[in-house]
């Protein structure tokens, strides 16, 4: 009996060791797969026409001519234009991204494609997922979705749910995670705490610790979370605070960037390994061009601040992709806040959300051009060019 117990004990220890080794291998391979896909990826999502947008006309009459060639990566917009001689000719605008989601794509389908990135945050990487697009193009729908509708909940609650499920599974392999959430808003280049008491006058400063590589924002609320329900409450509070800002400052929500920061620190009791990853989910401010917005006064200032920070974001991504010695993180609050999560070993995904409406055609083309610029950045990364 004693001998058998010893043998079983040995077998148990050996199989535990093997499981831990397999977990390390999974982490390594998972990361290699993502690096091969590219550390900067762009997904395009077209939203459907809303019933309120047809004004009694057929959907076809109010939408742009959008075609989807069959490889899921391309989107072609066509506009009829009149030549100097008065002839009507089609002007074709083709674009290609890592993936294009048509207007009937469900939240679930979209999440499937980003769930690997969420896993990376648990494995100790910094991940940024952005939603870019003009006001009303579906950024908030993509990120937050409809909270009380299971089918329509967005990427943030889905990511949180996956993190809790995956961290539970990793417990068997010795991992224990601590998680904390923070929700910030950047409006007119000032940071506001969406989990605070709603005091808009409080000043917050972004600080980077050079030794630990950690970022903190002074005087902001960081909430330790143990269950998805706690995160749900945290998101609700942020939404309420955003809504308060919106009534005070004229649709402030679409004029500000909102950044949900979820920090995950893991420690393995078997191997004594530790890991720290951050998942940043960012709903960017509406990208309308200045000339189109017809803005004056405060509104003009807002639009200028938005344009500046969005172009800083693309400059930072381009500098990282080109491996430039200087990356201009400091040029905007958003890039400065995300400094440690953009670049290095981090992973970035950008959704370019577009409206299908013919009235929005010019803005749609501008958004697709911006996204193309971001998408081109990955071509230069060494890992992407490896042939398999
Ligand atoms: N994929 C979708 N399916 C169904 N409805 C959608 C979809 N995307 C967006 N909508 C709806 O379109 C409207 C505008 O979307 P949303 O508020 O997400 O835009 P936004 O880009 O976040 O705008 P803002 O910049 O003003 O915050 C909302 O009523 C939203 O519910």
Q: What span, in angstroms and rounded, lies between the C-alpha atoms of 109 and 143?
A: 14
Q: For residue 387, what pLDDT is reported? A: 30
What's the mean pLDDT when you consider all of the chain?
85
Ligand 1 pocket, residues with Cβ under 6 angstroms:
47-48, 50, 133, 135-141, 253-254, 286, 353
Residue 334's pLDDT band (cuts 50, 70, 90): very high
**Chain centre distance of CA 203:** 26
- Model confidence at 303: pLDDT above 90: no
Q: Does residue 136 have a known ligand-binding role? A: yes
Contact 145, 154 (CB under 8 A): yes
Residue 385's pLDDT band (cuts 50, 70, 90): very low
Place of tokens 């501008």: 366
Q: For residue 324, what pLDDT is reported? A: 85
User: Which atom of ligand 1 lies closest to the CA of 141?
Assistant: 18
Half-sphere exposure of 182 (CA within 13 A, CB side): 21
Mean pLDDT of 48-77: 89
Q: For residue 29, what pLDDT is reported? A: 72
- Model confidence at 294: pLDDT above 80: no
Q: For residue 242, what pLDDT is reported? A: 78
- Model confidence at 383: pLDDT above 60: no
pLDDT in tens, 210-269: 888 788 999 899 999 999 889 888 988 888 887 655 544 445 557 889 999 999 999 998
**Ligand 1 pocket test target in 141, 246, 352 with most atoms within 8 Å of CB:** 141
Mean pLDDT is lowest, of 70-74, 98-102, 176-180, for 70-74
Mean pLDDT of 297-319: 85
**Ligand 1 pocket test target in 136, 143, 238, 360 with most atoms within 8 Å of CB:** 136
CA of 283 to the centre of ligand 1 (A): 12
Contacts 24+ apart (CB under 8 A), 220-223: 220/182, 220/184, 220/191, 220/193, 220/195, 220/196, 221/182, 221/193, 221/195, 221/196, 222/180, 222/181, 222/182, 223/180, 223/181, 223/182, 223/195
Structure tokens at 352: 């370019």
Q: For residue 261, what pLDDT is reported? A: 95
* Percentage with pLDDT > 70 across the chain: 90
Q: Does residue 140 have a known ligand-binding role? A: yes
Mean pLDDT is lowest, of 53-62, 246-255, 274-283, for 246-255
Mean pLDDT of 76-87: 89
* Percentage with pLDDT > 90 across the chain: 45
- Model confidence at 308: pLDDT above 80: yes
Q: Does residue 139 have a known ligand-binding role? A: yes
User: Which atom of ligand 1 lies closest to the CA of 283?
Assistant: 22
Mean pLDDT is lowest, of 19-33, 43-57, 164-178, 337-351, for 19-33
Contact 245, 253 (CB under 8 A): yes
- Model confidence at 34: pLDDT above 70: no
Three-state SS string over 166-212 comes to HHHHHHCCCEEEEEEEEEEEEECCEEEECCCCCCCCCCCCEEEECCC
Closest CA to 231 of 169, 306, 282, 181: 181
Q: For residue 109, what pLDDT is reported? A: 95
Mean pLDDT of 36-56: 86
Contact 299, 252 (CB under 8 A): no
Q: Does residue 135 have a known ligand-binding role? A: yes
Q: Which domains does the chain show, CATH number per domain? A: 2-385 (3.40.850.10)
- Model confidence at 136: pLDDT above 60: yes
């Amino acid at each position: 009996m004693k001998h058998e117990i010893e043998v079983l004990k040995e077998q148990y220890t050996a199989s535990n060791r093997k499981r831990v080794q397999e977990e390390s291998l999974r982490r390594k391979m998972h990361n290699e797969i993502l690096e091969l896909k590219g550390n900067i990826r762009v997904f395009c999502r077209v939203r459907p026409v809303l019933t309120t947008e047809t004004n009694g006309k057929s959907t076809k009459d109010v939408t742009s001519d959008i075609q989807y060639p069959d490889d899921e990566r391309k989107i072609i917009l066509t506009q009829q234009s009149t030549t100097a001689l008065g002839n009507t000719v089609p002007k074709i605008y083709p674009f290609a991204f890592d993936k294009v989601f048509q207007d009937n794509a469900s939240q679930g389908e979209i999440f499937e494609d980003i769930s690997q990135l969420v896993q990376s945050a648990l494995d100790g990487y910094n991940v940024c997922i952005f939603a870019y697009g003009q006001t009303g193009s579906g950024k908030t729908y993509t990120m937050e979705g409809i909270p009380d509708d299971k089918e329509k909940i967005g990427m943030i609650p889905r990511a949180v749910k996956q993190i809790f499920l995956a961290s539970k599974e990793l417990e068997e392999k010795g991992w224990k995670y601590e998680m904390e959430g923070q929700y910030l808003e950047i409006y007119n280049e000032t940071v506001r705490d969406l989990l605070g008491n709603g005091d808009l006058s409080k000043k917050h400063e972004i600080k980077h610790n050079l030794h630990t590589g950690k970022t903190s924002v002074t005087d902001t609320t960081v909430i330790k979370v143990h269950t998805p329900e706690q995160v749900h409450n945290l998101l609700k509070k942020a939404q309420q605070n955003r809504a308060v800002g919106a009534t005070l400052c004229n649709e402030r929500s679409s004029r500000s960037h909102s950044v949900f920061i979820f920090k995950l620190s893991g420690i393995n009791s078997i191997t004594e390994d530790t890991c720290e990853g951050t998942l940043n989910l960012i709903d960017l401010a509406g990208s309308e061009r200045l000339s189109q917005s017809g803005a004056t006064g405060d509104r003009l200032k807002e639009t200028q601040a938005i344009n500046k920070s969005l172009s800083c974001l693309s400059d930072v991504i381009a500098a990282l992709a080109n491996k430039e010695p200087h990356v201009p993180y400091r040029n905007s609050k958003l890039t400065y806040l995300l400094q440690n999560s953009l670049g290095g070993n981090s992973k970035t995904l950008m959704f370019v959300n577009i409206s299908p409406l013919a009235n929005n055609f010019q803005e749609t083309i501008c958004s697709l051009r911006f996204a193309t610029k971001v998408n081109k950045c990955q071509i230069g990364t060494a890992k992407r060019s490896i042939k398999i």
